[in-house]
Structure 1
Amino acid sequence: MKNNNWIAAGALALVVFASHSWAAVSVKQADRLKGELMPLGGERAGNGNDIPPWRGGLTLPPLGYEKPGQHHQDPFPQDEPLFTITSSNMKQYADYLTEGQQAMFRKYPDTFRMPIYQTRRTAAAPEWVYENTYKNAIRAELGGEGNALLYAYGGIPFPIAQNGLEAIWNHITRWRGIYLTRRASELAVHRDGDYSLVTVQQEVEFNYYRTDRTIEDLDNILFYYLSFTKAPARLAGGAVLVHETLNQVDEPRQAWGYNAGQRRVRRAPNLAYDTPIAAADGLRYADDTDMFNGAPDRYNWKLLGKRELYIPYNNYRLSADTVSYDDLIQPGHLNPDFTRYEKHRVWVVEATLKEGMRHVYQRRVFYLDEDTWGIAVADQYDAADELWRVNMAYIKTYYEMPVTWTTMDVFHDLKAGRYHLQGLDNQEEGTIDYSQEPPGERYFTPAELRRRGRR
């Protein structure tokens, strides 16, 4: 790796690599969020070349967007690729590719491509999220050997991250809205490109971001998640309820499943870590979801620094309702004609399995978008430390909120030559709807799960 691709962070780098503190930063350090740093912690300045300065992000819908929940209009319809990376020219751009992305070119030399577009720093959040992030910077801490978040609310907890654990907690708690509903599909794609859909209705309430609450009202809940399976018929009626906790040392994630055939709700105590997800056909584990989620206690986390990388960004065309699933799905990977990659700065976080702990991934390398703290790419290594899986989050800004999040996540198994895709809603009537009022914790209970499952 060329030295100039690892961005020097000045005095911050000394803190990052020398400190293992899990405490808040000083007011003087936090004030950088009002100057040289953007409110969530990324650098405001560009690189003087192909990464522009951040100027507030994308906060208004373009013409043609009329109501919440409708499919998004592309705010940059005239953009064309600046160039395309292929297996034949990959080495020319290797400094700006992850090991996993390079492996994708080697695995699928004739079909995998990365069209590179103009970088647009569209990441945005409401002003109150920025204000809470500043407050968190000077008060948030980690407890329980780094596995419990304390004294943070309604914003990024560690915008000036000092170690890998703080960085991954930023990802876990990043801004994704307050309450959303969505009907979407996931599918496992076979070597020949064949697939079958599993369609679900999802509802998520991010308790951590409720504007009518305070830090004292959290009751250790990060979010509530409720999902009902709609198709295929053999699975329809099944449901999952999750209470995601902030302090997973004192109170692990709580999960329940509803079996439509038996009409029974049962606890699901093992919905964590490397538990296989049934709908993913073995291609996604529980903590792969959202690139990483859940308790970080099985790994040692190291913040390696910052890099410039080509990552999926502003993927409006990929999620357009004019694109069918058959248009998108092909053997090995998504159809590159609909994807968009841009050069952005990312934080690099390495997770190495602790001695005595068990997980299918011995090592994981995460690449976090500096403007949002969301993981854009994850390279996953097996017990022999060989690259096994490459996961990518296809990011876009939901400008009606605003919130910058994934539109779909793809999990590639290099050894099996297959992949799993989560978040497809192109052929649904709409996409994520943020317009409804959050129903509150009484809605996300096992009793409610049973009642709704019987309807």
Structure 2
Amino acid sequence: MKKHFTLGGSALALSLLACSALAAISPQEAEQLGGAKLTPTGAEKAGNADGSIPAWTGGLKPGAAPVDNGFLGDPFAGDKLLFTITAANAEQYKDKLTPGQLALFKRYPDSYKIPVYPTHRSASAPQAVYDAIKKGATQVELANDGNALAHFETRYTPFPIPKSGVEVVWNHEGRYRGTSLERYSAQVVPQVNGDFTAVGFKENTGFPQFMSDVDPAKSANILYYYKQEIIAPSRLTGTVNLAYETIDQIKEPRQAWTYNAGQRRVRRAPEVAYDGPGSAADGMRTADNSDLYNGSPDRYTWKLIGKREIYIPYNSYQLMSPKLKLADIVRPGHINPEHTRYELHRVWEVEGTLKPGARHVYAKRHMYFDEDTWMLAEVDHYDSRGQLWRVAEGHQANDYQQGVALYAAQTLYDLIAGRYLAMNLINEAKQGTRYDMKYTASDFTPAALRNSGIR
């Protein structure tokens, strides 16, 4: 991983003021990372007052459970259920639930449940990542009204000690995701009665810092390259999407292309951003619903509310088990709660409000970020009337072999339509996620889409 941290590149402008950069934290503040009070990624090391959230002691290590063909075993399979929150007792726990979770209890009073297990702070990452975060904390700055990052050469968790809402959002977007990877997964959009047809994806994500042939100058504004090929059902097979996720999307908007197998042509796809339609999602998610939130933060004003303790999906190893079939997970209205796991964790709470004159189907996004991983755990989406519309949950787990936090599943519930979307489901994949891919820049070019999409 040494190459990753020595790769050069021109710095990109970014700031809360359009013409100047917001200063990074001081070296004295950065020394707190990995010290007595803060973890290397900026979370509180200590547990909470009553011990229901334990102290962080390093997280999971390689070998925490058996791994079979890339599928992670469950290190906490022996845990006993503490209690289950249902519509009948939700009022008792409402101070540790989000408005979206409470709304799901009202929408599905007979079936939606939150099974609560002991809290494990399993998050971990390679030491090289910790070192890069600490180094970058004194260098990375906001510019262009907070819509990009300057001096982000270290590439991970730019603001481990955040001072604003947009900095927390950037920590989610700029978190460590592992080395160049390949994943097979499924997305389902069930009908109200639970009937579904799974859409299969092959996803390839490449990071310029791990590519030997990348021009540092040309990739200085690239956070990662992403290619998504639809491999099922047959009527959609061969459609391939390609995106260059840029750091400053005001200066250089996300570049995206689509290969249509029926037309056998590649075209630019500017709609793969903001509230453009999500891929093969039957209108049930926007482009920026993927990863619970992605893309430029420029259309919202981000308010940092603070920290609180809530029950969030966590250590969701059962939900990614190859022993389960998609039919075991998919149920009418929501995924099967028998295979979910929730724990009490501290989260950063951020509210995004659509700026005057900006356009988006979501007028407000109320977000909850796990303090240990910076991943979004819960998002409540409100429409232009101020009505709670969609509720997203990120069922996360830690790949203890790689030191990577990931989503075992992402769910997005439409409270009005009574339908939902679930994605990142790897249960019926031929293998678990691979992190040993040797990509080159030519693997992520528009010309390469034609080769990927040939039936």
* Structure-1 separation of matches of 2:212 and 2:102: 43
Superposition deviation, residue 193 in structure 1: 0.6
Conserved? CA contact 1:177–1:206, under 8 Å: no
Q: Deviation string for 1:345-369 (max 9, x for gaps)?
A: 0000100000011111111011000
Q: Is the 8 A contact 1:70 1:429 kept in 2?
A: no
Secondary structure of 2:170's aligned partner: helix
Distance 1:305 1:142, change over 3 A: same
| Shift, 1:209, TM fit | 6.8
Partner of 1:156: 157
Distance in structure 1 (CA, Å) of the matches to 2:437 and 2:216? 23
1:214–1:183 Cα change, 3 Å: same
Question: What's 1:97 paired with?
Answer: 97
**For residues 196-235 of structure 1, what are the structure 2 equivalents within 5 Å?**
196-207=197-208, 218-235=219-236
AA at the equivalent of 1:43: E
Partner residue in 1 for 2:181: 180
What residue is the counterpart of 1:130 in the other structure?
Answer: 130
In 2 relative to 1, CA 138–295 (structure 1 residues): closer, same or farther, beyond 3 Å?
same
Shift of residue 156 of structure 1? 0.8
Q: Which moved more, 1:147-156 or 1:83-92?
A: 147-156
Is 2:376 the partner of 1:384?
no
1-structure distance, mates of 2:313, 2:210: 26
Q: Distance in 2 between matches of 1:314 and 1:305?
A: 24
After TM superposition, the structure 1 = structure 2 runs for residues 39-438 of structure 1, keeping only pairs within 5 Å, are 39-48=40-49, 49-65=51-67, 69-152=69-152, 153-207=154-208, 218-437=219-438
Structure 1 residue 216, shift from structure 2 partner:
6.4
Indicate the SS of the match to 2:378. Answer: strand
Describe the shift of the 1:215–1:454 C-alpha distance in structure 2 as closer, same or farther (beyond 3 A): closer
| Structure 2 gap segments, 5+ residues each | 1-19
Deviation, structure 1 residue 212: 10
* 3-state SS, counterpart of residue 391 of structure 2: strand
Q: CA deviation at 1:219?
A: 2.2
Partner of 2:131: helix, strand, or coil? helix
Paired residue for 2:11?
none
Whether the 8 Å contact between 2:65 and 2:72 is mirrored in structure 1 is: no
Matched AA of 1:356: G
Q: Which residue of 2 aligns with 1:13?
A: none
> Which amino acid in structure 2 is aligned with residue 65 of structure 1?
V
Counterpart for residue 3 of structure 1: none
Distance 1:167 1:63 in 2: 31
Q: Are positions 1:30 and 2:30 aligned together?
A: yes
CA distance in 2, matches of 1:115, 1:214: 49
3-state SS of 1:234 partner:
coil
Inter-CA distance 190–337: structure 2 relative to 1 (3 Å threshold): same
Q: 1:140 to 1:208 in 2, by over 3 A?
A: farther
1:405-443 deviations in Å (ceiling 9; x for gaps) = 211100100000000011111112222111233x12221
Deviations 1:141-194 (A, max 9, x none): 011111111111232100001101111011111111121111111010111011
User: 330-339 or 212-221, which moves further after superposition?
Assistant: 212-221
* CA displacement 1:13-37 (0-9 Å, x = unmatched): xxxxxxx983201111111113110
Q: C-alpha offsets along residues 301-355 of structure 1, whole Å, 9 cap, x if unaligned? A: 0110001010000001111111111111111111101000000000001000000
Q: 1:214 to 1:125 in 2, by over 3 A?
A: farther
TM-aligned CA deviation for residue 378 of structure 1: 0.4
Runs of 4+ in 1 over 6 A off after TM superposition: 209-217
Q: Offset of 1:99 from its aligned partner?
A: 0.4
Separation in 1, partners of 2:294, 2:279: 17
Alpha carbons 1:208, 1:222 under 8 Å: kept: no
Which sections of structure 1, spanning at least 5 residues, go unmatched? 1-19
Match of 1:5 in 2: none
Q: What TM-score do you get using the length of structure 2 for normalisation?
A: 0.92
Matched, 1:446 2:446: yes
Amino acid at match of 2:347: V
Give the superposition deviation at 1:208. Answer: 5.7
Relative to structure 1, the CA distance from residue 183 to residue 93 in structure 2 (aligned partners, 3 Å threshold; closer, same or farther) is same
RMSD over equivalenced CA pairs, Å: 1.8
Rounded to whole Å, the distance in 1 between the matches of 2:119 and 2:212 is 32
TM-score of the two chains, using structure 1 as the length reference: 0.92
Deviations 1:276-313 (A, max 9, x none): 12411111101111011001110000110001010000
> How many pairs align?
433
Partner of 2:15: none
Output the amino acid matched with 1:33: L
Counterparts of 2:209 and 2:255, CA distance in 1: 16
What is the aligned-residue identity percentage?
46
Residue 170 to residue 52, structure 1, CA distance change in 2 (3 Å): same
What is the letter of the counterpart of residue 46 of structure 1?
G
